[in-house]
Structure 1
Amino acid sequence: MVQAQRRLRRPVGTGGGRPRRRVLLTFLLPALALYTVFIIYPLVSAAEYSLYSWSGNRQDGFTGLSDFHQLFTKYPLSEQVWRALGHNCLFFIGTMLIQTTLGLAFAVLLHKSRRGKRFLQTAYTLPHLVSPIVVGYLWSIMLNPQFGAINAALRDVGLGALAQPWRGDPHLALPVAIVVNAWQWVGFPMLLFGAALAGIPDEYEQAARVDGASSWQVFRRVTLPLLTPVLGIVTVLTFIGTFNVLDLVFALQGSQGNPGFATDTLGLLFYRTAFQNPDPNAIGQSCALAVCMFVLIFGVSLAANKIFRRMEDRLT
């Protein structure tokens, strides 16, 4: 009788409580096939193409690391690569400072709020659901110096002196792109921080209050360290996103990273090298750049992940 009951309690499609391999493969193979076709195959193809010399679309012969050497020695690529890399670093730092700070602040405020919480969460997250290229074109219209909504609003409130050619000033173009990017993605860290705050037991704050800690001390000494795992996720994903940025900057400033390459990024440089490059070896050079971007992003992401894992281990 007991054995019969145990058989009835066993989940369907499992043997001895363990999922069968065929069931696992049935669900995993479609995702694995899509991942292989759209991720693994292009990566392997780019790595292979970067080792050959090209004449237009015709593969000439194996050249080893010659395409990589051209990236850092052949003008103008040798100058554009380092400039674009610097802009990507600034893009990441600026986005982290604005997006993460505001996302955490919104999460803390909404965590303590009861009225309008769902509405505000939805409002902050909506830009995240819009395509970056659509966001870029919308902001390019709003930032237009003649008829844009930003300058018009400044003039209407008597602050016409602050009206600027936001996208045309080399000193303002990159900060403006960073602000637009942070505005679009601020809802993402807000949701992650909000979920993490909901998982922190209230007893921790109550114990700190009993010991005489102020609100700021509770946040700094108790809440913030417990948010380290989420902060690590936000940092790594923001790094990956900002070092792959292309569509938003393309919509705002064009493929040249205007004005005067002031907003040029590695993604835009890859696009120009692949599709607007008069050099017959454009495929080899662009694939070499793509491989370098992959190695940089993958390596830094792994290193950052290990650093945050060690920080998490210290908390336990």
Structure 2
Amino acid sequence: MATGKSERTPIRWHIAVFLAPAVLIYSAVMIVPLFGTLQLSLFTTIDNEQVFAGIDNFRTLFGDERWSVSFWNALWNNTWFFIIHMLVQNPVGILLAALLSHPRLRFSAFYRTAIFIPTILSFVIVGFTWKLILSPLWGVAPDLLDMVGLKHLFTPWLGKEEYALTTLGLISVWQFVGIPMMLIYAALLSIPDEILEAAECDGITGFSQFWKIQLPLILPAIGIISVLTFVGNFNAFDLIYSAQGALAGPNYSTDILGTFLYRTFFGFQLQTGDPNMGATIASIMFFIILTGVCIYLFAIQTRLRRYQF
């Protein structure tokens, strides 16, 4: 017989218990510093006291010539750094994944490992090593080009304003091309064999099969790689700092938001650190990344879902 009392759903306390450590650590490391940075950007220091300034720091960053020139230069350089990765790293990663996923390719595991190894190297090692390789005094790049009769093409790429940032972007591509390669490789392996067999029955093979069948099916993975590339590039700092220093030379031609933030917040050489303006730059970086991720989630990802199987 019914007791007349609805059966109460037990409270699943174990879910909160298991989630609590991760939530607490993430909050302490990410959430609290984020809100602290946003709060610091709304204040300014007057006579060694923090005074609420509202959005005056943002106005100064965008409009004051002392700050705006450096900021817009760093923002453009960061954008170009991202474009290099999108135009070179991701297409090359897709191509490598397509080649390495071919069933007739021998030693594919060795090739995947060799290409992925640079991603686990330290930024300091990569920046310093490539700086030595490209050095016109003791680098091996001139001799290697001379061996193939192309020494006349060599120039101190890291020492010229028009080439330095592109060179560092390509070095970053060399280091991280293994990540999109592995993600796309995993996406290609997840395609059901029945789909590929049906395509072969219809006479679609080789490159045509990849272009017409496989590529549309891995578009969601390509979208994820693109947004990860965007977030990583607009958080970049280590490679530029290790190769060109905090001044991001020559003549700030490799200066990006990360190095601009570092000099502003901590100070460098004769420049005194300004935590409030540094927090303002960090806040702008956060809003840029947040905007890009939101555009992907709400405008792009919803359209890519139809390609999932």
TM-score, normalised by the number of residues in structure 2: 0.90
Give the superposition deviation at 1:59. 3.5
Give the superposition deviation at 1:291. 0.7
Match of 2:4 in 1: none
Q: How does 1:27-176 map to 2 (within 5 A)?
A: 27-55=18-46, 58-112=48-102, 113-176=104-167
Distance in 1 of aligned mates of 2:166 and 2:272 = 35
Distance in 2 of aligned mates of 1:177 and 1:107 = 24
1:286 and 2:286 are equivalent in the alignment: no
Contact 2:220 2:304 in 1 (8 A): yes
Distance in 2 of aligned mates of 1:216 and 1:160 = 36
Distance in 1 of aligned mates of 2:271 and 2:153 = 43
1:134-188 deviations in Å (ceiling 9; x for gaps)? 2111111111111112122112333221221010011111111110111111110
Deviates most, 97-106 or 204-213 = 204-213
Distance in 2 of aligned mates of 1:246 and 1:214 = 43
Secondary structure in 1 matching 2:157: coil
* Counterparts in 2 of 1:240 and 1:202: CA distance versus 1, 3 Å: same
Letter in 1 for 2:284: C
Give the superposition deviation at 1:61. 1.0
- Out of 237, 261, 267, the residue aligned to residue 252 of structure 2 is 261
* Counterparts in 2 of 1:100 and 1:20: CA distance versus 1, 3 Å: farther
* Counterparts in 2 of 1:230 and 1:141: CA distance versus 1, 3 Å: same
Percent identity, aligned pairs only, is 35
1:217 and 2:204 are equivalent in the alignment: no
Distance in 2 of aligned mates of 1:187 and 1:312 = 23
Contact 1:53 1:281 in 2 (8 A): no
Match of 1:301 in 2: 293
1:203-242 deviations in Å (ceiling 9; x for gaps)? 2223223333353332222111101110011000000011
- Out of 192, 199, 202, the residue aligned to residue 193 of structure 2 is 202
Distance in 1 of aligned mates of 2:30 and 2:301 = 26
* Counterparts in 2 of 1:221 and 1:149: CA distance versus 1, 3 Å: same
Contact 1:52 1:59 in 2 (8 A): no
1:313 and 2:305 are equivalent in the alignment: yes
Distance in 1 of aligned mates of 2:217 and 2:293 = 21
Give the superposition deviation at 1:19. 11
Contact 2:187 2:218 in 1 (8 A): yes
Secondary structure in 1 matching 2:258: helix
Match of 1:188 in 2: 179
1:25-47 deviations in Å (ceiling 9; x for gaps)? 33322221221111111111111
Distance in 2 of aligned mates of 1:147 and 1:203 = 55
Give the superposition deviation at 1:280. 6.7
TM-score, normalised by the number of residues in structure 1: 0.88
Contact 1:145 1:166 in 2 (8 A): no
1:231 and 2:222 are equivalent in the alignment: yes
Give 5+ residue unaligned stretches, structure 2.
1-8
Contact 1:155 1:163 in 2 (8 A): no
Contact 2:42 2:55 in 1 (8 A): yes
Match of 2:236 in 1: 245
* Counterparts in 2 of 1:98 and 1:19: CA distance versus 1, 3 Å: farther
Secondary structure in 1 matching 2:50: strand
Letter in 1 for 2:116: T
Contact 2:266 2:272 in 1 (8 A): no
Secondary structure in 2 matching 1:53: strand
Secondary structure in 1 matching 2:159: coil
Distance in 1 of aligned mates of 2:273 and 2:54 = 14
Distance in 2 of aligned mates of 1:138 and 1:308 = 38
